[in-house]
Amino acid sequence: MTPEETKAFEEKIHAFVGRENGPPKRGNDDVNEAMIRHWAEVMGDELGTYTDAEYAAGTGKGGLIAPPAMLQAWSMEGYPMAENPAQDIQRQLHNVFDAHGFTGVLGTNTSTEFFRDLKPGDQVTAHCIIDTISEQKATGRGIGYFIETLTTYTDQNGEEVGKQVFRVLKFIPADSNDAADSSTEDDSPSVPTRITSPRGHDNSWWWKACDEGKILIQRCTSCQTLRHPPRPMCGECQSIEWDSIESTLDGEVYSFTTLHYPKIPGYQYPNTVGVIQLSEGTRLVANIVDIDYETIKIGMKVKGSVEQVDEKTMLPVFRPE
Amino acid sequence: MITETISFASVNVGDKLPGKEVPITSALIVGGALASRDFTSVHHDKKVAQANGLPDVFMNILTSNGLMGSYVTNWTGPDATVKKIALKLGAPNLPGFVMTLVGEIKAKDDSTGIVDIEVIGENNVWGMHMAGTVQVQLPQ
Amino acid sequence: MVKDKAAIVGIGNTEFSKNSGRSELQLTCEAVRAALDDAGLKPSDVDGMTTFTMDSTDEIELARAVGIGDITFYSRVPHGGGAATGLIHQAVMAIASGMCETVVCYRGLNGRSGHRFSEGVSGNIITADAMHWGWYMPSGLMTPASWVAMYTQRYMHLAGEDKVKEALFEVAYTTRQHGATNPAAMFYDHPFDRAEYDAQKKIVGPLKLYDCCLESDGASAVIITRADKARACKHGGVAIKGVGQSAAKNMESMTSFYRDEIAAIPSMDVAAKEAYKQSGLTPDDIDAAVIYDAFTPIVLWQLESWGFADPLKSADFVLEGGLRLDGRLPTNTHGGQLSEAYIHGVNGIVEATRLVRGTSKNQPDKEINHALVTSGVGVPTGGALLGKMD
């Protein structure tokens, strides 16, 4: 968008600020035991005050209550959202965003205050207004705007039972910025896997053996010196002739560290990595697994094996002997 | 069933709640979306989720909110009263991930009996899923 | 030889922030203009340029933007923060050999709002040696903190874990104290105590958050000119007494895990030897220092390389208060990269110049005749000895 177009767009969206989303919306169902039980099962709520009327009567609550986090659920639109959502003011606002390329939507924050516990029979009505729209932001998801709605929930007596600020990001999905390259064939991306090594002339033989479950150590055929990581020439005698031996993966911890942050997709944290002194004399950097990292000591004997660590990757891993 | 309620006097700022691992499954994501009456397609339809740039269906914010609530009330016990839940979402929760919940008491108000519990849910693949604060009033 | 052939005559920084809101080119222009003003020179006086291979600002774009005219020397130094004093190295050689007279050394980056170095090589690999990183990415050992942590663990094993951990705190604490009283520092007015340090999250064992440098947006520039011209500049000159640039045997970028012993940084030993030899100075002559502090432990090893402590003994030097303003070697008086800003060590050259001029915000209460400034380590590195002009 040109600066003028952006200005016109922002005027359009800011006209929504302060407007009511629609008439107050009373929940289709009053607070009831069945929906509470359904919720409690999924969320793992273990309190009898949610699901056991007899028990609940004897607690300080004096009877069943709904899990507080359910508050928003009582007045949700339900199944029509999937097929034919109501064209309320918020939807109209989103349509303006969509028409300008801000098609992505993501709930980013919710903050709810609860003024009293809800009990079966209570009737929840939501009063929602478009409260604020942020300046344009560059987010990790893409360029976008945060929209905050403020919802006040009242009961059958018109008294406030809770208040919620809900913030969504409407953004231009990063992919649509390079639309020319959007025809990817793989329509089922999978869970991220580890970042693997690029393979070239000097290292692909090593990684290929690793794929097959073997850890090799390069050996100069002229002076027999072992070397790792592999290099095309021997630093001792300058020979370019070499073969390799297979490591037994017996070794000890020469040094190690445990990574906590940042968390890179495809890896599990905490992630312990060691420099392993192999019995053959060379060193190898690899994960140390199945041990509390606080108990690892330099000099500890370890034994390695080559294992499949994710859907795509074979790697050496070491365990204490 | 949990019947004991933690008393205000028995907790201190800096106390940690026991951690809890929540395996994220399609059942939890879809079940949570339906229990919260959220029929937005990305929470039950893998193809739509993929069109939105994620590998699979992902957890809706109401379920994250519900899990944060249950994590705290399962710890406090029945006679506590939740006053506020505020959370910020980070990386999505997808089937196959494991989310670890941890909590720590950050503040304690003697006049009201309300404690602020910071709760963080991290998944093992993409990291921080949610971080927030639950305010809960405990019996004296 | 290069001793006293050239001098730093101008220094300039932008502000340091988490989001500069402008291009790296613009930041760099502003820092260069500030450095020229500081020197009392005009853009047309500049005829040479040096920066990092990693820097995004093209020499001729910068020249056109700032109004610099004909250029007879330009060069770039590789290896990220290892290039910092390499800029001085290049400039001095060019000036001493008559290739040019006045060099601007610059580095500008949106290191927080743009590419963040803490992400390591997980995202866009910014070095050409992708195959080298391939030995470490699959296991997850791919952030600067994790590479440094690997040496640190070994160092603690040999030097004593408890003592080294105390020394790491002292490095972090003293540096932050300095930053807290430097208005330009990102951590100005934000000192911390032991409890706050301990409460920070673990980044990579044994390093916690405050053992790691900032990520910052900003730029720094330094003007170096021929010694005889320096005297006419607004603040005179700070002489370059010696400068070393160095890689040592059996080295990898950040992952030299295959040496006989890894609890030291031999490449900095080489730089120190070079710089002392050129200058005729010894460790006893050095009054203050700016030591590259991307992470706290690398300060310890550099103290050993430069002869302020014996190998494996720098924790004692640090724990005796050696880095404090009233200590043997007041160090990172601007707050370092831990607390002022992470401008890849070039803001450190600016501070070392101030120390010799006597204009640091935390100027030690003694005569600073000579100051040391170093580059990033783990990578090929370097260091420079600055001093008063004869």
Provide the ipTM. Answer: 0.96
Asked if residue C48 has pLDDT above 90, the reply is yes
The domain that holds C335 is classified in CATH as 3.40.47.10
- Interstrand relation of A314-320 and A283-288 (parallel, antiparallel or unpaired): parallel
Mutation target among A275, A283, A310, A312 for the C interface, most CBs of C within 10 A = A275
Query: Quick check: A109 and B3 CB within 8 A?
Result: no
Half-sphere exposure of C125 (CA within 13 A, CB side): 15
Give the chain A residue whose CA is nearest to the CA of C259: A283
From chain A residues 193-212, the ones with a CB under 8 A of any chain C CB are: 194-200, 202-203, 207
Our CA-based measurement puts residue A136 at a distance from the nearest CA of chain C, in whole angstroms, of 13
Separation CA B95–CA B29 (nearest Å) = 8
Q: CB–CB of A46 and B78 under 8 A?
A: no
C143 CA: distance to closest CA in chain A (Å): 8
* Amino acid present at A239: S
Q: Which of C359, C360, C366, C279 is nearest to C329 (CA)?
A: C366
- Give the strand order in the sheet containing A216-220: A226-227, A216-220, A242-246
User: What's the count of helices (H) and strands (E) in chain A, helices before strands?
Assistant: 7, 14
**Pairwise CA distance, residues C356 & C351, whole Å:** 9
Indicate the residue of B73, B79, B84 with minimum beta-carbon distance to A113. Answer: B84
**What pLDDT is attached to residue C131?**
79
Bigger pLDDT: B42 vs C103: C103
Query: pLDDT tens for residues C210-268?
Result: 999 999 999 999 999 999 999 999 999 999 999 999 999 999 999 999 999 999 999 99
Read off the tokens for C239. Answer: 């002489």
Q: Where are the domains of chain B?
A: 8-24+64-137
Neighbour subunits, C (≥3 Cβ pairs < 8 A): A
CB contact under 8 A, A259 and C150: no
CA dist A176 → A138, B8, C113, C159 (Å): 15, 52, 22, 54
* Residue partners of B140: CB distance under 8 A and separation at least 6: B7, B8, B9, B113
In terms of CATH, what superfamily is B8-24+64-137? Hotdog Thioesterase (3.10.129.10)
Contact A203 C122 (CB under 8 A): no
Q: What is the tens place of the pLDDT at every residue in A200-217?
A: 778 889 999 999 999 999
pLDDT beyond 50 at A178: no
Which pLDDT score, from 0 to 100, does residue C72 have? 97
Strands C202-204 and C207-208: antiparallel
Which of C118, C130, C139 is the closest to A262 by Cβ?
C118
User: Closest Cα to residue C287, out of C360, C341, C337, C215?
Assistant: C360
For chain B, first and last CA: distance in Å?
A: 22
Beta strands, E only, chain B: 16-23, 81-89, 98-109, 114-123, 127-137
Residues A64, A40: Cα–Cα separation, whole Å = 12
Chain C residues whose C-beta sits inside 8 Å of any chain A C-beta: 118-119, 122, 130-143, 145-146, 149-154, 157, 201-206, 250, 255, 257-258, 262
**The pLDDT of residue A79 is above 70:** yes
What is the identity of the amino acid at C219? A
The amino acid occupying position A234 is: C
Q: Do B78 and A67 touch (CB under 8 A)?
A: no
Chain A residue at shortest CA distance from B97: A191
Q: Does A72 touch chain C (CB under 8 A)?
A: no
C380 inside domain: yes
Paired tokens of A198: 């690029």
Contact yes or no for C288/C355 (Cβ under 8 A): yes
Within a domain: C154:
no
| pLDDT of A187 above 70 | no
Number of domains, chain C: 1
Domains defined along chain A, listed by start: 3-28+79-174 (3.10.129.10), 202-246 (no CATH), 249-321 (2.40.50)
- Specify the higher pLDDT residue, C127 or C37: C37
Long-range contacts of B17-21 (CB under 8 A, 24+ apart): B17/B71, B17/B72, B17/B75, B17/B102, B17/B103, B17/B104, B17/B117, B17/B119, B18/B75, B19/B100, B19/B101, B19/B102, B20/B71, B20/B100, B20/B101, B21/B98, B21/B99, B21/B100, B21/B101
User: B24-46 burial string, b = 16+ CB within 10 Å, else e?
Assistant: beeebbbbbbbbbbbbebbbbeb
The reply to whether residue B52 touches residue A109, judged by beta carbons under 8 angstroms, is no
Helices of type H across chain C: 24-39, 59-66, 86-96, 130-133, 144-159, 161-180, 194-199, 227-230, 266-279, 296-305, 314-319, 346-357
Q: What Rg value do the Cα atoms of chain B yield, rounded? A: 16
For residue C315, give the nearest of C108, C162, C203 by alpha carbon.
C162
Active site residue C292: yes
Phi, psi at residue C337, to the nearest 5°? -85, -10
C106 is catalytic: no
What's residue C23's pLDDT? 86
Q: Pairing state of beta strands A160-171 and A137-138?
A: unpaired
Q: Contact at 8 Å (CB) between B5 and A50?
A: no
Nearest Cα of chain A lies from the Cα of B12 at a distance, in angstroms, of 23
Give the number of A-C residue pairs with CB atoms closer than 8 Å. Answer: 110
Contacts of A175 in chain B (CB under 8 A): 53
Please judge whether B39 and A192 are an interchain contact, meaning their C-beta atoms are less than 8 angstroms apart: no
Name the nearest CA neighbour of B110 among B5, B7, B2, B3. B7
Range of the domain at C325: 6-115+219-388
Considering CB atoms only, which of C153, C250, C255 is closest to A256?
A: C153
pLDDT of residue A103: 87
Q: Using the Cα atoms of residue A134, residue A136, residue A140 and residue A141 in order, give the sign of their dihedral.
A: positive
Q: Each residue of A114-133: pLDDT tens digit?
A: 999 999 999 999 999 999 99
Q: In terms of CA atoms, which chain A residue is nearest residue C206? A: A257
Average pLDDT, chain A: 89
